Amino acid sequence: CSKEEGRNNYQIYDDTMSQGTYQQLVIETDLRSAMENQEFKVFYQLQVDVDTCIPSGVEALVRWQHPERGLVPPNEFLSIAEEMGLIVDIDDWVLRTACEQIKKWNDAGNALQVSVNISRKQFERKEFVDIVKQVIRDTGINPEHLKLEITENIAIINIAAAVKKLQALKQLGVQFALDDFGTGYSSLSQLKNFPIDTLKIDQSFVKNSNGHDEDAVIVKLIIAMAKTLNLTVTCEGIETEAQLAVIREEGCNHAQGYLFSKPVPAEALERMLLCGV
Ligand code: C2E
Ligand code: MG
Ligand code: MG
Ligand code: MG
């Protein structure tokens, strides 16, 4: 059964089609109207300074407020959106929404830096740099309040082209973080030619680490390497005081995780900041 046939048709499920494929078709159909129906939402998750626990920024994370299924997390729809080519529209919208939020917070006296995830497809568009510049102009933000999170795989095909894009935006003051670091394929020698500001250590290393095992050694090595390269380090997935103690000991700069806050709507984040969390 082709995608074409399934487009407006929920009855195509038969024995030969796996439940997974059927689910995917349903999601695809719904995703097509989600943007138009304004069903996407941006949530924000706090990042704190590891030494002081003072808020240092937030990460913008997309959610899909589905009319029947409720709040759908990105892992359940972004890969499908990517196959459909819709990911670039979602990334465009999240970027603009996050920058409008930066402006609002800044006007209210909260100079929070906001990190926005950029998919590989979005980064590889030839108009990527112009899109970011345009959003910065339209929203009137200070570019230093914007940090873009990219992953190692953006540089697999053409590292020179990737570096050029990074440099064009860095000139404006936009910062870059390498997300999920440690899970990809980038060689360490490549990293030194890559003009980024921050390494985000993937949560899998922190989660499994009890402070003495191999994962803890990896975390330690990544932090040491980042220091050598003059990069700041953010650890994501910090859920316990014990994990916080380990990364503090190793000199990690910023932390993000359920210990501080889950991703929440902008208004909830504002309430947290007001209460001095
Ligand atoms: P990510 O960029 O690595 O974001 C961190 C993920 O870890 C988020 O999941 C966050 O909710 C989760 N997390 C943070 N702290 C903890 C913790 O202490 N424990 C646990 N168990 N999880 C924690 P989320 O929001 O479900 O997003 C998943 C992924 O979807 C993101 O991973 C990112 O790769 C992608 N994503 C989210 N929003 C966007 C977007 O607007 N554009 C693009 N291209 N990708 C996005
Ligand atoms: Mg991220
Ligand atoms: Mg990450
Ligand atoms: Mg991740």
- Residue range 51-105, pLDDT digits in tens: 999 999 999 999 999 999 999 999 999 999 999 999 999 999 999 999 999 999 9
Q: Cβ of 245: how many Cβ atoms within 10 Å?
A: 12
pTM greater than 0.90: yes
Tokens 């138009």, located at residue? 36
Whole-number average pLDDT of the chain:
89
8 A C-beta contact, residue 260 and residue 46: yes
- What residues have CB less than 8 Å from 81, skipping those under 6 apart? 31, 87, 90
Measured by CA distance, the residue closest to atom 23 of ligand 1 is 237
Q: What are 97-121's pLDDT values in tens digits?
A: 999 999 999 999 988 999 999 999 9
Residue 202 Cα to ligand 3 midpoint, Å, equals 6
8 A C-beta contact, residue 167 and residue 196: no
Residue 210 Cα to ligand 2 midpoint, Å, equals 24
Ligand nearest to the CA of 234: 3
Residue 180 Cα to ligand 4 midpoint, Å, equals 5
Measured by CA distance, the residue closest to atom 20 of ligand 1 is 237
From residue 120, how far is each of 63, 132, 153, 212 by CA, in Å? 19, 15, 7, 35
* CA dist., res. 190 & res. 181, Å (int): 13
Q: What are 157-189's pLDDT values in tens digits?
A: 788 899 999 999 999 999 999 999 888 766 666
- In the numeric block, which tokens belong to residue 256? 């993000």
- In the numeric block, which tokens belong to residue 272? 């947290």
DSSP code, position 10: S
Q: Give the per-residue pLDDT at 7.
A: 47
* CA dist., res. 181 & res. 52, Å (int): 24
Residue 202 Cα to ligand 4 midpoint, Å, equals 6
